[in-house]
Every structure is written in structure tokens, then in C-alpha cells.
Amino acid sequence: MQLARVIGTVVATIKNDSLRHRKLLVVQSLDKNLAPQGKPLVAVDAAGAGVGELVFWCRGKEASFPFKREDTPTDCTIIGIVDSDSHVCCE
């Protein structure tokens, strides 16, 4: 599980049937100081997040756990929303 900021949305006119009615968002991974790291990724939203929100996300086979794993082709999923930046601990 990692932190990211939602920085945009994705519009797809054609997508896998199991992704219909699921929101696709662009997330920017963050380090422990909430500074951007790496390249942005497209994630399936399982938490109801919106642009600008701080979220938890995961990759790999765990990314399909919020859905029917055999039916949802995802390797990047938003799994939670962080209430406030002040909840994130920095050194």
C-alpha cells in the first residue's frame, strides 16, 4: 500500500466489460514527505476518490482484491482515501 495524489481522470470510450461503470483516475505516487515520485499511473477507483485527494493505492495481484479477481483486469487500484494530510507522519 502506497500514498498518492489523484491528479486527473481518464475517459475511455471502449474498455473491458468488467471495467464498465468503474472510474479510472490518474494518480501520482508520493514519498513520505508527500513529494511526487515516479511517473503518474492510471488506477481503478474502488474508494470513490476524486481529483486532488490523497489516497492509498496498491499494485500487483492485490489490486484486483476489491473486485472479482478473475473478472477485473487491473494491476493498480485506489483502495482508500486519507482524511487529512496531517495524518501522514514525516520525519
Q: What is the CATH number of the domain that holds 78?
A: 2.40.50.220
The percentage of residues in the chain with a pLDDT greater than 70, rounded to a whole number, is 89
88 belongs to a structural domain: no
- Look up residue 19 and give its DSSP letter: G
The confidence score (pLDDT) of residue 49 equals 96
Nearest-CA neighbor of 86 among 54, 56, 43, 47?
54
The domain tally of the chain equals 1
Q: Is residue 52 part of a domain?
A: yes
Q: Is residue 12 part of a domain?
A: yes
Whole-model pTM: value is 0.85
Question: Does 60 map to a domain?
Answer: yes
Give residue 63's domain range: 2-82
Is residue 90 included in any domain, yes or no? Answer: no
pLDDT score at 68: 67
Separation CA 79–CA 46 (nearest Å): 6
Domain-embedded: residue 24: yes
Residues in CB range of 57: below 8 A, 6 or more apart: 1, 2, 3, 4, 27, 29, 41, 43, 76, 77, 78, 79
Q: Across the chain, what does the average pLDDT equal? A: 86
d(CA 44, CA 13): 15
